Every structure is written in structure tokens, then in C-alpha cells.
């Protein structure tokens, strides 16, 4: 990654410069190390600021209620192109590409472009729990149970405090006639979130042979596209929320 190489170069240059000036190599290592760390942090923040600007532009593009399906699709396509422009920084900073792929995958998934979404999810960050959960929902729709479970398991590791992730996982298992699996997932969810009343209620419902209701998990539930939302929700909702958290 370019930022790392540049920072290493800066640190090495400082170290050698001090060494050639007649100082002991051990004395030169301290300022050299500080130069490396300072350069790497500064370069990382610089890339992070550029990506934040892209994400802010994407957010503005997706805000508000479109007047037609055509406009909504046009907005989405523009947003995806904006995000794709961020992929140029993949070679500069670790994990940037994976996070941008996560965001693109989610937008494509929510626009029902499952094939396009799958390609980006395959290169997405395992730490983006929402992207991994949507990937699981995608494999559910493709009737690939093994891949579905693998994606959801990744989602509940990074998003163990997010009740909707556990709930969607359990819902998909139920649709696949795997009630025991759904009960185990919700049991793990309650164990990880002992004060979450929504998850406890969902687990209790299944234990008493009642239907798993997803209403408590709205509006996030509708983003998975596994059920048709009411007309007033289909019409808008203030745009999709796009987040980017630069990691170094």
C-alpha cells in the first residue's frame, strides 16, 4: 500500500540522515520511527477525508423522495459511480477497497441488482455487518443455504449487538423450514444481548410456536427486500444511509 511505503521511506530517510550526521544508529531510530508513524497517520487521515467527501456526496444524492422510479434508478446509478471513484484509493490505504465494495454492494442489493451486488459483496469487508447480512439475504434468495449461513455468521460476529442482523438470520432459517436453527440463532442473540427486549420477544414467540414478527426491526428490515413493505414506505423514506468509517 502506497501510504505505508511512503511512510516507511520517510522514516528510513530520517534514520539514515541522522546516522550519517554522526549519531549512533539507536539514537537515529527514535526520530525515524516517529517520522514513520506521523507520516502514516497523516496520510491515512488524508485518504479518509477524501473518502468522507465522496460519501457525503453520495448521501446528498440519495436524500429526499424521488418523483419516479426512473429518477430513483438514475440517482442510484450516480451514487454507485461516485462510490466507484473511491476505489482508486484501494492501493493507497489498507481496507479501503473492501469498505467501498461493501457500500456499492448494499446499494446494488437494495436496487434488486443481485448479480451486481454479489460481485461486490465477495470483495467486501467482513467487519461490515450490514453488508454481510445483506449478502446472506442474497444467498437466501438464491437458495444457497450453506453460503447464506456463512455470510450471516460473519455478520453476527461483527454485528453481534445489532438485533436486526440476528432477526433476519432467524427469519431466513425459518423460511427454509429450519426452526431449530432459528431458535439456536435467537438463543445466541439473546445471550449476546441480554437486555434487548426485541430479541427476547422474538425468541419467546418461536418457543411458543408463534410467528416471528419483523415489525420491531423496522425500518431496517425493509432494506433487506425480503418482504414487500407498505405503500407509504415503498414511496420513500428519506434516502438510503451510507456510512464510511476509515480503518487503519
pLDDT class for 238, splitting at 50, 70, 90? very low
Tell which wins on pLDDT, 240 or 199.
Answer: 199
Mean pLDDT across 212-229: 92
CATH annotation of 133-226 = 1.25.40
Chain Cα centroid distance, residue 105 = 9
Q: Which of 88, 134, 144, 84 lies closest to 111, judged by CA?
A: 134
Contact 166, 185 (CB under 8 A): yes
158-215 confidence digits (pLDDT tens): 999 999 999 999 999 999 999 999 999 999 999 999 999 999 999 999 999 999 999 9
pLDDT grade, residue 1 (50/70/90)? low
Question: What's the rounded Cα separation, in Å, for the pair 177 and 119?
Answer: 28
C-alpha span between 208 and 224 (Å, rounded): 26
What average pLDDT does the chain have?
A: 85
pLDDT tens for each residue of 76-111: 888 888 998 888 877 777 678 888 999 999 999 988
The whole model's pTM is what? 0.79
Q: Please report which confidence band the pLDDT of residue 3 belongs to, taking 50, 70 and 90 as the band edges.
A: low
The whole-angstrom separation of Cα 48 and Cα 39 is: 14
Collapsing DSSP to helix, strand or coil, 159 comes out as: coil
Taken as a whole, the chain contains a residue count of 248
Q: Structural domain boundaries of the chain? A: 1-94, 133-226
Residue 225: pLDDT over 60: yes
Sequence-ordered list of residues with C-beta below 8 angstroms from that of 120, at least 6 positions apart, any chain: 101, 102, 104, 105, 108
With a cut of 80, say whether residue 235 has pLDDT above it.
no
Amino acid at each position: 500500500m502506497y501510504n505505508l511505503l511512503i511512510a516507511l521511506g520517510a522514516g528510513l530517510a530520517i534514520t539514515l540522515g541522522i546516522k550519517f550526521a554522526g549519531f549512533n544508529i539507536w539514537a537515529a531510530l527514535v526520530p525515524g520511527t516517529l517520522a514513520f508513524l506521523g507520516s502514516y497517520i497523516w496520510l491515512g487521515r488524508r485518504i479518509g477525508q477524501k473518502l468522507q467527501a465522496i460519501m457525503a456526496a453520495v448521501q446528498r444524492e440519495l436524500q429526499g423522495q424521488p418523483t419516479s422510479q426512473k429518477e430513483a434508478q438514475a440517482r442510484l446509478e450516480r451514487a454507485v459511480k461516485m462510490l466507484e471513484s473511491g476505489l482508486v484509493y484501494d492501493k493507497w490505504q489498507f481496507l479501503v477497497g473492501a469498505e467501498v465494495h461493501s457500500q456499492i454492494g448494499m446499494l446494488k442489493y437494495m436496487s434488486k441488482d443481485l448479480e451486481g451486488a454479489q460481485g461486490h459483496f465477495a470483495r467486501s469487508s467482513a467487519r461490515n455487518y450490514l453488508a454481510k447480512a445483506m449478502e446472506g439475504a442474497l444467498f437466501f434468495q438464491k437458495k444457497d443455504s450453506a453460503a447464506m449461513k456463512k455470510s450471516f455468521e460473519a455478520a453476527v460476529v461483527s454485528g453481534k449487538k445489532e438485533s436486526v442482523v440476528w432477526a433476519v438470520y432467524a427469519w431466513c432459517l425459518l423460511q427454509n423450514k429450519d426452526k431449530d436453527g432459528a431458535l439456536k440463532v435467537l438463543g445466541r442473540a439473546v445471550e449476546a444481548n441480554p437486555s434487548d427486549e426485541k430479541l427476547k420477544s422474538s425468541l419467546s414467540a418461536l418457543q411458543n410456536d408463534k410467528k416471528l414478527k419483523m415489525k420491531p426491526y423496522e425500518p431496517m428490515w425493509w432494506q433487506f427486500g425480503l418482504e414487500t413493505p407498505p405503500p407509504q414506505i415503498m414511496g420513500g423514506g428519506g434516502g438510503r444511509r451510507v456510512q464510511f468509517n476509515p480503518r487503519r
